[in-house]
Chains A and B, each alone.
Chain A
Amino acid sequence: MRPLVYLDHAATTAVHPKVLEVMLPYFSQKYGNPSSIYTLAQEARKAVDDSRETVADILGCRPNEIVFTSGGTEADNAAIKGAAFSTKQTGNHIITSSIEHHAVLHTCQFLERFGFEVTYLPVDEYGLVNVDDLARAITDKTILITIMLANNEVGTIEPVPEIARVAKERAKALGTNIIVHTDAVQGAGALDLNVNRLGVDMLSLSSHKFYGPKGVGILYLRRGTPFMPQQSGGAQERHRRAGTENTAGIVGTAVALKLIVEDMEHNRQHCQRLRDRFIEGITAKITRAHLNGHPTLRLPNNVNFSFDYVEGESILLNLDFAGVAASSGSACTSASLEPSHVLTAMGIDAQRAHGSLRLTVGSDNTEEEIDYVLSILPGIIDKLRAMSPLAEPNK
């Protein structure tokens, strides 16, 4: 049995050994509730506060602008619903893109049931939002713009600083206020997360995407941003997110973020070298393979190809037999019967969307692993094409 070649880092990552180490004492030794008064609890309180400072330093904000959540999905929900419901008196219009993660898209669709109107901006063939489209979509009713920092499927990096600047300029001219949120879940470890350079009011992160634990997210909430908490209960997180703090998870998250940011330049170069090796290898070895996403405005770890005449799940099963873990935009790999909404929004036809393969590399991958996948993938595609009624002979 070959060792696992894990190429699905955009789905989740393994917890870094150092992260696990700092988390462990908070399960059975320093288990106090941070809201309690005794020494045991105050150890936990200090750990949460220190973690908040670490995260704030990295994002370039104040510690009290950080809200810990149960994950990226909750951070997106809290940001979008929290901003929308607290500003409904001033406007009901939200702008997002058609390629957002479902945590954003489905939250916007949910808000449509409560009288909000949502503009889903189109993207170009590379998955890029057009800033002029965005500027044109803004009205005096626009209260919120939420555009992802980078796309999880195709890795396209969106012009968030420009989007934020245009939004603020238009709002100023209209005499309104527009809150700008970005789902930065895929950007950690690859892109600048400084909230002032990005120009955003709210930003979401998910710990398990950067070698932290599952079940912890970060919501940055700029001071003064209208916000209605989406969870009722205790006074935790300055009344913005009720519920006993996940001390171990928060401690692990802060350390994971620190490690990934400290190592960012090295990790970026490492991933990009592997990514480019993959892209060049696939392009050279497999005919009718189409790179999805932008050639350069692309996350350093994302490879996404469509292969004509074959279906994604069949590729994934064959890769799994060979010990390789990857992902696809095929309908078969989701709960719905529709192929990827991201690829569809990019104008990629359904058949090609079904035949997509996403390989996302991480700091733990090696060139040997990439070469191994490049040695087996052409055979897998050939085998599937040989049984496909869509394939034209000799192509």
Chain B
Amino acid sequence: MPGFKSHSGSAAVLDRNHVDTDQIIPKQFLKKIDKAGYGEFLFYDWRYLSDGGENPAFDLNKKEAKGASILVAGKNFGCGSSREHAPWALKDYGFQVIIAESFADIFFNNCVKNGILPIRLSVNDIQQLRKDPSEKVIQNLTVNLEEQYVANQNGEVFRFDFDPYWKKMLLNGWDEISVTLHQEAKIKKYEDERIVN
């Protein structure tokens, strides 16, 4: 995986809390056995009408939102099922960064492992990112993982916290399994000493 240092792009705003992974990618698309091609099914039930056409009322279908590479959402984003198909779909659609008030734990991990940067910002900061609160697309956001900030086009800077270990993994694009396999001696030792039920 390539390393993630910084990213600039426009952000689509999804003004909802508790967006669960069933909404991000409904279960009928979980039957594939590879990781590719989920983007067209992202937010399926919101994005398409029952006749298969695009739902013009859905925020991501608005003309200005096309091409957004950052997604801004509310509280508890990615709750529910552990399906990693959710970040696969988000990434395949083109999102590289997700900014939310909070994330569900498993989803947060799943993002990091797929090279998507999940950023927690306060509700006030998220409000301030936009020029006006009704704005559904935020132009020209810059996200810098190395320095841990998001900047908008007015030059306002919003800092975020990030776990140092995952930061290093993301910055370098390291394969986590290779890193762990270097701990082989310790794993072996643990296995030799552990008490088995």
Please indicate whether A and B come from the same complex rather than being unrelated chains. Answer: no
| Chain B residues engaging chain A, CB cutoff 8 angstroms | none
Please list the residues of chain A having a beta carbon within 8 angstroms of any beta carbon in chain B.
Answer: none
